[in-house]
Amino acid sequence: MHFAQYYLDCLSQASYLIGDETTGRAVLVDPRRDIDDYLHDAEAAGLRIELVIETHIHADFLSGHLELARATGATIAFGEAAETGFPIRRLRDGERISLGADDGQGVTLTVLATPGHTLESICLVLREHPEDDVPFGVLTGDTLFVGDVGRPDLLSAAGHTPQDMAARLHRSLHTKLLTLPDATRVFPAHGAGSACGRNLSSETSSTIGDQRRFNYALQPMPEADFVRLITAGQPATPGYFAHDAALNRDGHPLLEPGPPPALTLDEALAARDRQGAVLLDCRPLAAYTHAHLTGSLHTSLDTRFAEYAGSVVAPGTPIVLLAAPGTEQEARLRLARIGYDHVLGHLPDPSAVLADRPELSRASQRIRPEELAVQEPGLAPGEEGEAARRHGAEPARPQSADAMTTGATPADAVPTRPTPADIQLIDVRNPAEYEAGALPGARNVPLAGLSDRITELDPARPVVLYCRSGNRSVIAAALLEARGFTEVSDVIGGYDALGAGIQ
């Protein structure tokens, strides 16, 4: 048997190539859109990809089933409940897929219908030989993760409540997956960082036995308690999820490889002004905060670039990339993995352009953790200073990136910060992070939902943003600046840097 896991760190996404080496027949499960690695490895192993199986209709990335079907002639398969805009093979609960010379021989996959994350969700039990008592493993899609289970709330718009889907998920876990032998290896579709669950491990495989013992969601409990547990505290859903789910269900244009065209500064600004393009700065955070084009958005390639871009850029929006030299093609590909294909071009060497045109740029306003004066809820006027002293904070002023590196205060810096009572303190972490500990007086508006909830904030009042480490807060600050907020700062190092003293 040939078995290979392909794990894409930037999207926490796993796909699988499975083949029978005696016949050369192979299947690919949950592929991403750029398929060259699969094709190269299959050819090197002497395998023919005959079937592309999707464990469900994905929402967090654009799948490569159409690209693979074109490149290999493979049939596309989904669970029986799937409704798609293109021909598929419907896989029934209990159906066996044999890769041997004759039906029932060789490497075998058995389909388990496991609704809960979505209605059409399936898992695939993999045996090297059909008669093996203990399967080699089970591909669990988004039904079971290492350390968590799939979120049940993504179909709310389709009329299925999270509670109903969570109850289905409970039954799928206990009547299907947990009946497998403890030694069965678990191979999920996602790992830590994915918004498809709230407590995913960084491990990319496990066993049924370990998950039975250590996964919080699989501990013995009544179904009603499981439903309450799983429907609470899920991460905010990035704005592109519904867009990707629709494209994966209905069909999408095939991936067009290659770098984006180079644009001059005037062409980039014209695309913004005439075509409504977003200027997306994907340079490292330090470069962006030091100087960036006024009104540009930001998410760095060294973070969860595509997911964060999909949280602040609406699907279908034209994009001009402001990328460090040599990274523009990677940026375009990573956007294409979530279906953001409308990249008009890129601005070569943005840092050099900004140095030549300083009147078009600005530095980010950032606050050191020790400078943040926090306000406790319900304080009477005049009590904010005492609250700050109790939390070890001192009055502070927003500072430029130069001041952050030199420790000096530039002559044109804001001389005083507004009092805590004036500030809108916004925690852009996910709900579970916020509930585990937050700054006094902070409101939770997760980054993934900030664009939709921006009208809840007052652009006439100063905003201070923080996240866990100081990355998401910069992305959020860029979004607010682009929407016309003029007094926006974020906390360097985020909640982690503030330490355990502020709870």
Interhelix angle 472-482/305-312, nearest 10 degrees? 30
Q: What tokens appear for 79 in the block?
A: 């669970």
DSSP 380: P
Altogether, the residues listed in the chain come to a count of 503
- Centre a 10 Å sphere on the Cβ of residue 104 and count the other Cβ atoms it contains: 10
CB-based contacts of 25, cutoff 8 Å, min separation 6: 19, 47, 48, 50, 99, 100, 106
CA distance 85 to 75: 14
Whether 10 is a known active-site residue: answer no
Q: How far is CA 249 from CA 50, 192, 252, 447, 476, in A?
A: 21, 25, 9, 26, 31
Query: Which DSSP helix (H) or strand (E) runs through 358?
Result: none
Rounded to 5 degrees, φ, ψ at 21 are -75, -15
Q: How far is CA 326 from CA 301, 302, 321, 444, in A?
A: 12, 14, 12, 37
DSSP classification of residue 63: B
Out of 123, 196, 282, 467, the active site residue is 467
Integer-rounded Cα radius of gyration of the chain:
25
Could you write out the three-class secondary structure of 14-38? EEEEEEECCCCEEEEECCECCCHHH
Q: Whole-angstrom Cα distance, residue 107 to residue 111?
A: 13
Under a CB-based contact definition with an 8 Å cutoff, are residues 478 and 472 in contact? Answer: no
- 413: Cα separation from own chain's centroid: 36
CA distance 405 to 317: 35
- 3-class DSSP assignment, residue 316: coil
Tell me which residues are annotated as active site.
467
